[in-house]
Amino acid sequence: MEGAFPAAQGNYEVMRRLAGVAEGSELQGKTALECNQEWLNAVSFSKGCYLGQELTARTMHTGAIRKRVMPVMLVEKEWEIPTSWTMAQQVQEGRDDMFAAEILKSLPQFSAASIGGLMAMMMGALENIDASSSLDADEAAEQTEEAAKREKVQKQAELLLEKMSGIERGDKIVDTQDDKTIGQVLSTPAPGTNVVLAQMRLDRVGLTTTKTPWKKTNKVRVGDTEYRYLPYTPIWWPIVDSETGKGRPPEPIKTEESPEEKVANEEA
């Protein structure tokens, strides 16, 4: 990952935003559940009192969560979309096989480090180094061609980051297919990254039931610029219930029955 992010800026802000964690003024005007505080052990439902407890408890036990803070990768409209999001679209459309559905659920899930690595590869920041001392003519030509491709990708990435430098906190994220606002930027991209922290409508990223599903070809407008948007869920998120927007409890781990338990179950 060396060289992928500018070290002078400090990596905390980079990793925090890639991990989808909002803090400070980014939380202002939003409920605790919209900011995923229950998944960060920042909210208690068994003790209190605290400011906003009644609304938080009522929403948790009887309501639904329509928006959440999450990371969103923005890319050029012409860029090739990584396989993770192609498979996610198949899951959401019900065209997946059992393997894809089990692994991906409805959106790709990444840690800060893994999304950083993927982003670095997409931007040509990582390269394959041949350790051999000598190359034949074909291998040398192949490496020269790969270097030229990588340089082209790096230039495209520089142009993308230059465009994204104009994104400001509070900018609306508008879906170009129906011109509706589906999110709002809470934190501008950390230096060297193309990921914004945003409050997004869950139905427009495919996490809750919708008539307008997310697709990898969908485009959004942020400011005056159009991008493709690739939302993902942080690794610390649970599975999101498609009806309520809340975290679903983990599935119980199936264990093999002991002979005694098997006999007892058969007798019952």
pLDDT tens track of the chain, all 268 residues?
344 444 445 688 899 999 999 999 999 989 899 999 999 988 887 776 777 778 888 888 888 999 999 999 999 988 988 988 988 888 777 755 544 444 445 789 999 999 999 998 888 765 544 444 555 666 667 777 777 787 888 899 999 999 999 999 999 999 999 999 999 999 999 888 999 999 999 999 989 887 777 888 899 999 999 999 999 999 999 989 988 999 876 555 556 666 766 666 676 6
Query: According to the model, what pLDDT value does residue 135 have?
Result: 58
Task: Classify burial at 126, counting beta carbons within 10 Å of its beta carbon; exposed 0-12, middle 13-18, buried 19 or more.
Answer: middle
The candidate with the shortest Cα–Cα distance to 217, out of 180, 177, 171, is 177
Q: What are phi and psi of 175, to 5 degrees?
A: -75, 125
| Whole-Å CA distances, 68 to 22, 176, 231, 234, 235 | 11, 21, 12, 12, 15
Is residue 159 within 8 Å of residue 215, measured between CB atoms? no
DSSP 43: -
Alpha helices in 66-207 (DSSP H): 83-92, 98-104, 112-122, 137-164
Strand partners, 70: 198
Rounded Cα–Cα distance for residues 173 and 179 (Å): 10
- Whether the model pTM is above 0.85: no
Reading the block at residue 145, the tokens are 């061609």
Task: Classify burial at 258, counting beta carbons within 10 Å of its beta carbon; exposed 0-12, middle 13-18, buried 19 or more.
Answer: exposed
Locate the domains of the chain by residue range: 7-127+137-249
Cβ of 62: how many Cβ atoms within 10 Å?
A: 8
What's 7-127+137-249's CATH class? mainly beta
Query: According to the model, what pLDDT value does residue 97 have?
Result: 53
Is residue 220 within a helix (H) or strand (E), and if so which, with residue range? strand 219-222
